Structure 1
Amino acid sequence: MVIFIFFASIWYLSLFSQTFFQHRYAAHGAFTMSKGWEKFFFLFTYVTQGSSYMSPRAYAIMHRLHHAHTDTELDPHSPSNSPNIFSMMWDTRTAYQQILHNKVEVEARYTKNLPKWSWFDKLANSSLSRLLWVVAYVLFFVVFATNPYQYLLLPIVVSMGAFHGAIVNWFAHKYGYINFKLRNTAMNLLFVDVLMLGESYHNNHHKHPSSVNFGQRWFEVDPVYHIIRLLSYLKVIRLVHSPRKEIVVS
């Protein structure tokens, strides 16, 4: 039971960090926060994502490129450019590493208003950091696993960020339904998104990238939006972009 609670906690906490801090805040600037809170969420993201931590700055640049060039040859992750999901995720990793280590020239329009904590990102993205997290996960499983089959969850825990990315970037560009006709393959993967915290409403998101609420229809509940509203009420963040509602069913 402990292993399953741990797995569920890592799944949702790491996903929350991705969609709240790296995606909606860093990439799209849907809300603002003080530098103090920004550093807090840097730390929160590192602790919850562990071995699959991604730099908010590098993530944001890569994601902005995805929106600007969706399903074209310049898209850093698209099923249209890859024969299988593993190839796409390797291309994603390559694009991320090139951006992270400044090995590719990026236009200035993709680098505006990015969160930056250089020394921390260098530490959090280091091979030593990732190795220590993997060791910690393995030791946790050794102590608490009660059946060998539970170790099948270990590779997912270690690569949780990539696993989440694969679900959205591959499957949400291949399967699902649409609310909006777009010039790309983005679709809403799930009718009720209890697994991806709003991230699977991909068609909605590509229509209104900066909207703080990824849901559009009454049944498209985005739980992170309600957390954002609470944090806004508590003055932790300040909303910049209000939710957009515009249904065009094809």
Structure 2
Amino acid sequence: MSVAEPRRKTLSSPYIHKLQRRHFLLFDVAPIVGTVAAVAFLWVHPFGWTEFALLAGMWLLTGLGITVGYHRLFTHRTFSTTPGVQAVLGSMAGQGPVISWVALHRRHHEFSDREGDPHSPNLSGGGMRGLLRGLVHSHFLWMRRHEYPNVVHYAPDLLRNRVLVRVTRHYHWWVALGLAVPALVGGLVELSWQGAVAGLLWGGFVRIFVLEHIVWAINSFLHRFGTRPYESRENSRNGGVFALLTLGEAWHNNHHAFPESPSFGLDWYRLDPGFWLIKALSAAGMAWNLKTPSAERRASRRVRPAGARS
């Protein structure tokens, strides 16, 4: 009787790398071009309250789609709810289809800051040269070409969910919707083609650009700089000063220490808008099974000062 080969954890082929390059150009490079175009368009249409509302509103909606939907719900199952809207809003962020994003992030946790981590800043050598190479790689360049995590291995639970599979298949349409909505709103509010173009640029391309770099900075800078209150096997750090801007994701060491927790701040006074939304959904009966760590478990993972007795 033949022995079945173990399931491959990653896939690599010229076709996959071609798709990765195309996604990199469309959804990582194009927002940079769109942001430059938005600045240039100021000569035609000045930045006003409509553009600010579209930028802030679309950033908040899609950002919550990433942190609450893609990350805390689908990747780590930190709470339960009816899936659907979260996956759509996360898809509109342009950071990849939900099932692929989850597979990548689960692999990151499995190999964090070790060989196999898709975006560690700590594997590019020592010294200033290694530091800069690692930061550039983990922040941006890793997306051009990398081993693709096998979704059958890393996300079999999501593959069994028909809603998430359908959302994943229509990923490009959701990104397009995230561009069309602010363009339509801008045009209707200002009743002009200039308003529509400004809405597309600021609520669409600039919003994607801003949110992407916020999320990427968690992968890069918060695996090099910040505080480390909890023991964890990798180099994750907290950057609490950026807590609001990242919707709570900046409590990155807390998250790596307790990945099952829907609260990344862990304490009420640590700002965590993503958890605020989850708590609001829970209070309304729309979220359940929240798994916050006990005080005893947190105390057991605390980093102790050198020389302290265990």
Please give the TM-score of this superposition, normalised by the length of structure 2: 0.63
Residues in 2 aligned to 1:153 and 1:42: alpha-carbon distance in whole angstroms: 19
* Correspondence for 2:117: 75
Displacement over 4 Å in runs of 4+: 129-141, 151-155
User: Aligned partners of 2:54 and 2:182: how far apart in 1?
Assistant: 10
Structural mapping, 1:184-223, within 5 Å: 184-191=234-241, 193-217=243-267, 219-223=269-273
Native 8 Å contact 2:243 2:272 kept in 1: yes
Q: Which amino acid aligns with 2:106?
A: R
Task: In structure 2, give the amino acid aligned to 1:55.
Answer: P
Aligned residues between the structures: 231
Aligned runs of 1:60-99 on 2, under 5 Å?
Answer: 60-81=102-123, 83=133, 85-88=135-138, 89-92=140-143, 94-95=145-146, 99=148
Alignment deviations for residues 153-181 of structure 1 (CA, whole Å, 9 cap, x no partner)? 97532334522321211111122111113
Map of 1:38 onto structure 2: 83
Corresponding residue number in structure 2 for 1:7: 55
Match of 2:46 in 1: none
Bigger CA radius of gyration:
2
**Residues 130-145 of structure 1: matches in 2 within 5 Å?**
130=175, 134=179, 140=186, 142-143=194-195
What fraction of aligned residue pairs are identical, expressed as a percent?
23
Secondary structure of 1:58's aligned partner? helix
Any unmatched runs of 5+ in structure 2?
1-48, 125-132, 188-193, 306-310
Show CA shifts across 1:6-34 (max 9, x none).
Answer: 2222222211111111001110011122x
8 Å CA contact 1:15–1:164 kept in 2: the answer is no
Larger displacement relative to structure 2 (191-200 or 234-243): 234-243
Distance 1:71 1:41 in 2: 28
**Residue in 2 that maps onto 1:56:** 98
CA shift for structure 1 position 61: 1.1
- SS of the equivalent of 2:263 reads coil
Residues 93-119 of structure 1, C-alpha deviation per residue, up to 9 Å, x if partnerless? 644xx64xxxx54573x2242255334
Length-normalised TM-score, structure 1: 0.77
Contact 1:212 1:243 in 2 (8 A): no
Q: 1:158 to 1:220 in 2, by over 3 A?
A: closer
1:237 aligns with 2:287: yes
Give the alignment's Cα RMSD to 1 decimal. 3.1
Aligned residue for 1:121, secondary structure, equals: helix
Contact 1:193–1:222 (CA<8 Å) still a contact in 2? yes
Answering whether residue 85 of structure 2 is matched by residue 22 of structure 1, we say: no
Q: Deviations over 1:103-148 (max 9, x none)?
A: x54573x22422553343222236xx646755766785941789xx
Cα gap change, 1:121/1:111 in structure 2, threshold over 3 Å: closer, same or farther? closer
2:141 is matched by which residue type in structure 1? W
